[in-house]
Amino acid sequence: MMAPALLLGFAGSVHCLGMCGPLQLAVLGGATGKLWLKTLEYQLGRVLSYTGLGVFFGLAGKAIALAGFQQVLSLLAGIFMVAFALLAWRLERWLHQWTLLQRWSAWLQHTMGGVLQRHPDGASFSFGLLNGLVPCGLVYAALAGAVSMSDPVDGAAFMFYFGVGTTPLMVGLALVGRRFSTGIRTPFRYIQPVLLLLSGALLIQRGLHLDLSLFESAVPPADLECH
């Protein structure tokens, strides 16, 4: 399932530029002579956060799959991605109205501000780790895909590839600055929903053709005894 994860990450990169780009520019703004290194540290921290989330949500998906709902899970994950492609900003605005997410976001902002103040020249990796935990509709869509993997290793791999897919444009923003973000948004405005729809369609296809033999083999068939 590398393809839908990479597609989702790359397609959502423009979303990342708008949501996380300013945070990245803030933490890398004071870098002198080490911009490449700091950029790689920042991206590594962000991708590792996504990967850790993938382990947790992959475990949750495994529990659901063992209950007999793996196929439904994959279909719902694909539908969620399609919905995000069509209603990205509205869906995210609705999700962020939840009080729990608002409190989590406020705590993260406070923590990230403290890290930046204490370590203004060495916070790239830590800031990247925290950035990966920022509430984001795109990440929710990716986590839906991780849950549908129904395995912690596969869930981690899905989120890893998703994170890798988001890095090219984020690295470009770090090295070129806001001019890169402005120039890339217009063409991607048309490409992004197509790639998101394709990613969701791949997960839906997986759900429709899912082989459940692995889970059937985990439950031995009952033997009929004749007396």
Q: Which band of pLDDT confidence, cut at 50, 70 and 90, is reported for residue 180?
A: low
Nearest to 178 by CA among 54, 2, 25: 25
pTM given for the model? 0.78
Contacts of 48 (CB under 8 A, 6+ apart): 128, 129, 132
Question: How does pLDDT run across 46-76, given as a tens digit for each residue?
Answer: 999 999 999 999 999 888 888 777 778 778 8
Q: Which band of pLDDT confidence, cut at 50, 70 and 90, is reported for residue 44?
A: very high
Does position 32 have pLDDT exceeding 60, yes or no? no
* Distance of alpha carbon 111 from alpha carbon 58, whole angstroms: 27
**What pLDDT score was predicted for residue 178?**
60
* Cβ atoms 150, 61 nearer than 8 A: yes
Burial 46-61 (b: 16+ CB within 10 A, else e): bbbbbbbbbbbbbbbb
